[in-house]
C-alpha cells in the first residue's frame, strides 16, 4: 500500500525504475500499455525475436514516437542483460529453456527478475529463486497472473492467523478437454479457425489453457511458492461457484472434495454435463479459510461471510485478474522494496507429460498444448519417484518407447541430450530440492 508513494519519491529524485522486457507478446503488450501512465517507470530495452513486431506492439498500445525512439529494441536477450543499465528484467517469452537462460543471466548481472514465464518457473524455479537469494537480488512471480495473486491471498490469510484449507483459481474445464488438440480447440472458444487466425491467436497456446496443462503449471507454481500440497492423483477440477467454495473446497472428512487440508485445486466453471456453474470463478482466484477458534467462526457469521454448514470454513476470492496490466506491482515491489510478489520456497508440485493418445516409438513430442501430450499436476515426490518427464521438456524430443493413451511419459521413454543446459539445470534443481 506504499508502492505509488515510493515510486513518486524515485521519480522526484530523477531516478526512475528502469526495466528490460523480454517478450513483447500479449502479456508484454499489456504491461507496455501501462508504462506511459506510470511516472517514474521506464522501459529501457525491449527484447523480441521480431523487433519490428515489438515496435508495432508499442504503437498499438499507445506509445508515441518519442518514447519508441528512446527505447532500445534487440533480438539478443543475453547481450541486452549483460550491457543494460536497468533494475528489473521481465521474462515474458513463455519458452522454459529461454526463460531459465535469461533468469540466470539476469541474476549473474545483479538484476531483479520478474518471471512471467511460469513454464520456466515450474521447471526450475526453486533453484533460480535460491540462486537469486544468494546473489542478493529478487526472483519473483508476476503479479496479475494467477499464481502471484493466489500467493498474495494465501499470505494475507496466514498473516492474519487463518488456516489455509485450499487455494487456487477457476477455469473452464471438462474431462474430455485433456485430449483436445490445436486442430479442435477453437470450437470450445466459440470461434472458427478463420476468426482465430485473423485475430492472430495461436492455437497451441490457447489449447494449453483448455487441456489442463496451464492449470497444472499454475497450481505447481502456487504449491511451490506457498508450501501447499498437491492432490495425490492430480487436479479434480470440481464444478464450484463462489458461494459454494467453503462447502465444496473442504476436506472429504468434513463433507467436501479435498483429500486433506492445505492443498491447491482448480474449480471448474462448467458442470460435468456442460451447464454453466452459477456465479462461477472462471477468471479469478480464491483461498478457503478455516477459523482457528469459535470466536473467529462467530465473526464470520456476524460480518456476513459465506460459510459451510459448520460455520468454520469461509472463502475469500478475487473474481478477475488483469494479467500484464497489473505487472507493475511485481516490478516496483522488487525494485523499491526488494521483495517478491511470490517466489518458490520449495519443490512441492511438478507437471508431468501425459499421452493424449496412443503414442508410438519414433514420434516427436510437441509439448504444452500440442497434439501429443498434456500436463498433469503431481506431487514432486511422486513425479521424481516415477521418473516422469516434465511437460516443459516434452518438446521436440523423440520417443524410444510406445506410450499408452493416458499414461505418464518418463525420462526413460525419450531420447535425452544430457549435455543440454536446460536438462542439466532441471537435474540440478531435482538434486538440490528432493532431499
Decide if domain 349-433 falls under CATH 3.90.1210.10: yes
Confidence at residue 434, expressed as pLDDT on a 0 to 100 scale: 79
DSSP assignments along 389-421, one per residue = PBGGG-EEEEBSS-B-TTPBPBGGGB---TT-H
Confidence at residue 195, expressed as pLDDT on a 0 to 100 scale: 86
pLDDT tens across 240-252, in order? Answer: 999 999 999 999 9
Question: Which DSSP state fits 409?
Answer: P
pLDDT tens across 364-376, in order? Answer: 999 999 999 999 9
* Domain pair 3-144+324-337 / 349-433, same fold: no
Confidence at residue 201, expressed as pLDDT on a 0 to 100 scale: 80
Average pLDDT of every residue of the chain: 96
Domain ranges, ordered by start, for the chain: 3-144+324-337, 147-173+212-321, 349-433
Helices (H) and strands (E) in the chain, counts: 16, 14
Mean pLDDT of 254-272: 98
Mean pLDDT of 240-267: 98
pLDDT tens across 180-218, in order? Answer: 999 999 999 988 888 888 777 889 989 999 999 999 999
Rg (CA), the chain: 22
CATH number belonging to domain 3-144+324-337: 3.40.50.720
Confidence at residue 190, expressed as pLDDT on a 0 to 100 scale: 87
Report the SS3 class of residue 181: coil
Residue 50 has pLDDT above 90, yes or no: yes
Confidence at residue 435, expressed as pLDDT on a 0 to 100 scale: 61
Amino acid at each position: 500500500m506504499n508502492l505509488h508513494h515510493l515510486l513518486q519519491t524515485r521519480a522526484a529524485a530523477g531516478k526512475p525504475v528502469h526495466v528490460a522486457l523480454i517478450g513483447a507478446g500479449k502479456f508484454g503488450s499489456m504491461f507496455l500499455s501501462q508504462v506511459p501512465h506510470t511516472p517514474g517507470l521506464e522501459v529501457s530495452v525491449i527484447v523480441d525475436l521480431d523487433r519490428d513486431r515489438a515496435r508495432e506492439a508499442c504503437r498499438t498500445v499507445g506509445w508515441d514516437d518519442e518514447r519508441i525512439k528512446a527505447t532500445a529494441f534487440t533480438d539478443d536477450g543475453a547481450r541486452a542483460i549483460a550491457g543494460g543499465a536497468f533494475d528489473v528484467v521481465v521474462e515474458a517469452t513463455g519458452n522454459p529453456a529461454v526463460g531459465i537462460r535469461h533468469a540466470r543471466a539476469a541474476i549473474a548481472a545483479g538484476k531483479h527478475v520478474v518471471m512471467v514465464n511460469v513454464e520456466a518457473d515450474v521447471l526450475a524455479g526453486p533453484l533460480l529463486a535460491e540462486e537469486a537469494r544468494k546473489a542478493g537480488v529478487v526472483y519473483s512471480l508476476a503479479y496479475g497472473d494467477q499464481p502471484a495473486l493466489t500467493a498474495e491471498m494465501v499470505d494475507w490469510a496466514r498473516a492474519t492467523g487463518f488456516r489455509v484449507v485450499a487455494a487456487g483459481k477457476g477455469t473452464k474445464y471438462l474431462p474430455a478437454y485433456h485430449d483436445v488438440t490445436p486442430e479442435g480447440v477453437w470450437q470450445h472458444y466459440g470461434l472458427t479457425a478463420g476468426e482465430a487466425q485473423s485475430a492472430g491467436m495461436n492455437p497451441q497456446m490457447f489449447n494449453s489453457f483448455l487441456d489442463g496443462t496451464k492449470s497444472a503449471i499454475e497450481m505447481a507454481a502456487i504449491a511451490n511458492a506457498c508450501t501447499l500440497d498437491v492432490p495425490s492423483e492430480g487436479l479434480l477440477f470440481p464444478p464450484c461457484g463462489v458461494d459454494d467454495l467453503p462447502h465444496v473446497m473442504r476436506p472429504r472428512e468434513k463433507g467436501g472434495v479435498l483429500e486433506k487440508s492445505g492443498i491447491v485445486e482448480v474449480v471448474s466453471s462448467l458442470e460435468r454435463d456442460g451447464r454453466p456453474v452459477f456465479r462461477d470463478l472462471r477468471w479469478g482466484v480464491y483461498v478457503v479459510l478455516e477459523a482457528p477458534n469459535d470466536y473467529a467462526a462467530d465473526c464470520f457469521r456476524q460480518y456476513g461471510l459465506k460459510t459451510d454448514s459448520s460455520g468454520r470454513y469461509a472463502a475469500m476470492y478475487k473474481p478477475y485478474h488483469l494479467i500484464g496490466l497489473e505487472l507493475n506491482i511485481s516490478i516496483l515491489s522488487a525494485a523499491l522494496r526488494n521483495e517478491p510478489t511470490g517466489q518458490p520456497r520449495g519443490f512441492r508440485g511438478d507437471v508431468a507429460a501425459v499421452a493424449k493418445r496412443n503414442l508410438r516409438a519414433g514420434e516427436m513430442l510437441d509439448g504444452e498444448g500440442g497434439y501429443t501430450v498434456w500436463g498433469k499436476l503431481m506431487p514432486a515426490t511422486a513425479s521424481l519417484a516415477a521418473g516422469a518427464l516434465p511437460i516443459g521438456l516434452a518438446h521436440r524430443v523423440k520417443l524410444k518407447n510406445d506410450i499408452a493413451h493416458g499414461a505418464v511419459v518418463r525420462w526413460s521413454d525419450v531420447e535425452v541430450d544430457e549435455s543440454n543446459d536446460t536438462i542439466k539445470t532441471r537435474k540440478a534443481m531435482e538434486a538440490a530440492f528432493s532431499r
